[in-house]
Amino acid sequence: MPIVDLSHPIRAGLITYPGLPAPVITSHLTREDSRAAYAPGTEFAMDIITMIGNTGTYLDSPFHRYAEGPDLAGLDLATLVGLRAEVFHLTDAAERGISSGVFAGRDLRGAAVLLHTGWDRLFGQTAYGRGAPFLTGEAAEYLVDAGAALVGIDSVNIDDTESGGERPAHSRLLGAGVHVVEHLTRLGELPASGARFTAAPPAVEGFGTFPVRAFAELV
């Protein structure tokens, strides 16, 4: 079964979202130092990563937006694993804002709705944070009403970060328990329908966002 990796690799110094800190990777135990604790020929490396949850390709749980919402440990795996993927290829869109009209005629109930804008080509560059595509609040409302389980985008944010602080897509989706995955990549390799999508974070209590290894199975 072909699998398409939809996640950006995480490395020390990576800038995911402009203005947020980059991950720092340090050694807790080097291979050289470990040799004194193990049998000859046996060695290990133990490393420490310090990073904000909004690093690489990550998932937003309702707790990210709402204090009373489920955190990462409270998510139902059935809403994160093997979801029917409905992919919308929007690289030729004339407007930055993605409206509900693009979703017409598609069955989205229980699906992972994946928005392929092509913006991932700029990931890691300064230009990634400016003029990015986003989901409108009206379209987020439509997706909630349509019963989507998860919405993902290959852009810097599912909302318009140049709108003065308003976050209608996050607010509506997460308020309805619809997960959000941002900074996806390689969505152009997926068919409009027929793939299965998975993006499961670790079960961290009291935490709202975390990197995922997002991938699609082409069935």
- Give me the CATH number covering residue 176: 3.50.30.50
What is the pLDDT, as a whole number, of residue 189? 98
**187 and 209 Cβ atoms separated by less than 8 Å:** no
27 part of a folded domain: no
Q: How far is CA 30 from CA 13, 23, 24, 50, 152, in A?
A: 20, 19, 16, 17, 38
108 part of a folded domain: yes
> Which amino acid appears at position 216 of this protein?
A
Q: What is the mean pLDDT of residues 51-79?
A: 98
Number of H helices, E strands in the chain: 3, 13
* pLDDT of residue 104 exceeding 90: yes
Domain count, the chain: 1
**Structural domain of residue 110, as residue ranges?**
3-8+53-218
| CA atoms within 13 Å, Cβ hemisphere of 73 | 4
What is the pLDDT, as a whole number, of residue 3? 98
40 part of a folded domain: no
* pLDDT of residue 194 exceeding 90: yes
28 part of a folded domain: no
* pLDDT of residue 164 exceeding 90: no
When the pLDDT of each residue in the chain is averaged and rounded to a whole number, the result is 97
What is the pLDDT, as a whole number, of residue 60? 98
Query: What is the pTM for the complete model shown?
Result: 0.96
Q: What is the mean pLDDT of residues 27-35?
A: 97
15 part of a folded domain: no
* pLDDT of residue 193 exceeding 90: yes
Token readout for 182 is: 């941002």
18 part of a folded domain: no
What is the pLDDT, as a whole number, of residue 41? 96
97 part of a folded domain: yes
Q: What is the mean pLDDT of residues 184-213?
A: 98
What is the pLDDT, as a whole number, of residue 192? 98
What is the pLDDT, as a whole number, of residue 62? 98
168 part of a folded domain: yes
